[in-house]
Amino acid sequence: MIDTPKKKNIFGYTLSELSESITPKFRAQQIYKWLYIEYKIDFESMSNLPKHLREELSQKYSAQNLEILKCEQSRDGSKKYLFRTHDGHTFESVLIQMRDKQRDANGKIVSSEKWTICLSSQIGCKVGCAFCFTAKGGFYRNLEAGEIVEQVVQIKRDNAIPPHKRVNIVYMGMGEPLDNFENVTKAIRILSEKDGLSISARRQTISTSGIAPRIKKLGMLDLGVQLAISLHAVDDTLRSRLIPMNKAYNIAQVLDEVRDFPVDARKRVMFEYLMIKDLNDSLKEAKKLLSLLDGIRAKVNLILFNPHEGSEFLRPSEERAKAFADFLTQKGLLCTIRESKGLDISAACGQLREKEKLQHVSYET
C-alpha cells in the first residue's frame, strides 16, 4: 500500500538537501545507500541508523509514494508499468531491455543486457499533439521530482536490476518534460547523485516538442543532459497541424535554440521524426530534412506512427521508412528507425493508461 500523502517523498531530495535536515551529515549518505543501492522502502530496516532517526524518518518521509497498478510484459522483453499516485492519478513508464554486444577482458564478444527506462514527467500533457494518445486525456498535473525518481527506483527493484548496472533514462513517456522544468531538472540531478543511482546526465535524454525558451534555459544550466527534439515535420504548416505549439515556436526558432545548446563533443542532438503515411513519409521530406539540419550535429530517429483507437493517421510501411532512412544515411546524416519495442503491449505513449481509464474510470480524481 502507498503511504500517507501527508508524508514527504524521500526521493525528492538531493543529497545536499537531505544532509541539511539530517544530522550528522553522513547519515544522509547512509540513507541514500539504503534507498538507491539496497532499494529499501522501509526506514525500520536501515540497520546502521540509530533508532530515534529511523523513527523520525518514518514519521516524516515515505519511500513508497507510487503503487504499481499493472505491469504488461512484451514478448521482446520490454515491460510497461502503470503507476498510481497518492492522489489517485495514473501514469506509465516503460523498461526497455536490449541485448548489447560487448567485449570481455580478453576481447571476446559477449552478450550483455542494456536497460533504458522511459519516464513520464506529467500526468497528461498540455501540448495537445494531434497524433498523441496522451494528449487526448488532457492535463492533470506535473509529476513531482520525487515521483519521477521513484519510477526508476521501483522499476529497478521490481526487476532486481543490480545497482551498478548501466541504465539509460529517456523522458519520453507521458508529458512534456520542459513544461515541468524545475521538477524534471531536479530529478536529473537526484538520479545522477554519485552516492545514489549514479545515472549521469549524459545518460539521460530529454525529449521535447520544442518549447524554444525552455531549450535555452536548459542549455544555460549546462547539466550535460542529452537533447531530443520531436520535429515530425519539415514545414511549419504541417508541424502546426501536428504540434499546435509550433504556432508559438516555429521550426526556425526551435532549430536556432538547438544550435546554441551545449552538446558533448562525442554526442549529437537527436531529432525524432514521426512518420505518418502519405503525410510526411516521402523522399521530398527527407531532402528538406537534410537541408534543415545542415550544420547541426544531428542524428535522426524515425518513429513509425503507432495507430490507436480513433486516430486519423495511418502507419507507413517499413519499406517507406527504410527508403527515407537510406536516403539520409547515404547523404551522411546518421539515421535510425526506432525499434517498435513492445508494440504488442500498447506501445504508444499514454495507451496503457487510456486502456485502464476506460475500464476503471474511478482511478481519476
> Cell for 32?
541514500
Query: Looking at 46, 127, 148, 228, which residue binds ligand SF4 (CB under 6 A)?
Result: 127
The 199-238 site mask, x for binding ligand SF4 (CB under 6 A), equals: ----------x-----------------------------
Q: How far is the CB of 310 from ligand SF4 (least distance, A)?
A: 15
Q: What DSSP character marks residue 345?
A: G
Angle between helices 212-221 and 181-192 (to 10 degrees): 30
In the set 257, 285, 335, 349, the catalytic residue is 349
Best CA proximity match to 80, nearest among 344, 360, 362, 364: 344
Our CB check for ligand SF4 shows the closer of 85 and 134 to be 134
Asked whether 83 and 152 are in contact (CB, 8 A), the reply is no
Size (the chain), residues: 365
Binders of ligand SF4: how many residues, by CB under 6 A? 11
For residue 160, give every residue at least 6 positions away whose Cβ sits within 8 Å of its Cβ, in sequence order, or none: none
> Is 129 annotated for ligand binding?
yes
Judged by CB under 6 A, the chain residues 156 through 175 that form the site for ligand SF4 are 175
> Is 207 annotated for ligand binding?
yes
Residues 154, 132: Cα–Cα separation, whole Å: 26
> Is 335 annotated for ligand binding?
no
Amino acid at 321: A
Residues 285, 71: Cα–Cα separation, whole Å: 38
> Is 132 annotated for ligand binding?
yes
User: CA torsion sign, 109 to 98 to 146 to 56?
Assistant: negative
Query: Using CB under 6 A as the criterion, which residues of the chain lie in contact with ligand SAH when the complex forms?
Result: 131-133, 172, 176, 207-209, 230, 272, 274, 303, 305-306, 308, 348-349
Our CB check for ligand SF4 shows the closer of 125 and 300 to be 125
Is omega for the bond preceding 177 within 30 degrees of 0, making it cis? Answer: no
Q: What is residue 167's three-state secondary structure?
A: strand
Asked whether 341 and 301 are in contact (CB, 8 A), the reply is no
> Is 200 annotated for ligand binding?
no
Q: How far is the CB of 270 from ligand SAH (least distance, A)?
A: 10
Asked whether 122 and 146 are in contact (CB, 8 A), the reply is no
> Cell for 284?
521530398
Q: What does 77 interact with, of ligand SF4, ligand SAH, none (CB < 5 to 8 A by kind)?
A: none
- Check if 285 is active-site: no
> Is 175 annotated for ligand binding?
yes
- Check if 335 is active-site: no
Q: What does 135 interact with, of ligand SF4, ligand SAH, none (CB < 5 to 8 A by kind)?
A: ligand SF4
Our CB check for ligand SAH shows the closer of 78 and 306 to be 306
Residues that bind ligand SF4 (CB under 6 A): 125, 127-129, 132, 134-135, 175-176, 209, 349
**Residues annotated in the binding site, as ranges?**
125, 129, 132, 175-176, 207, 230-232, 306
Q: Catalytic site residues?
A: 92, 349
**Residues annotated in the binding site for S-adenosyl-L-methionine, as ranges?**
175-176, 207, 230-232, 306
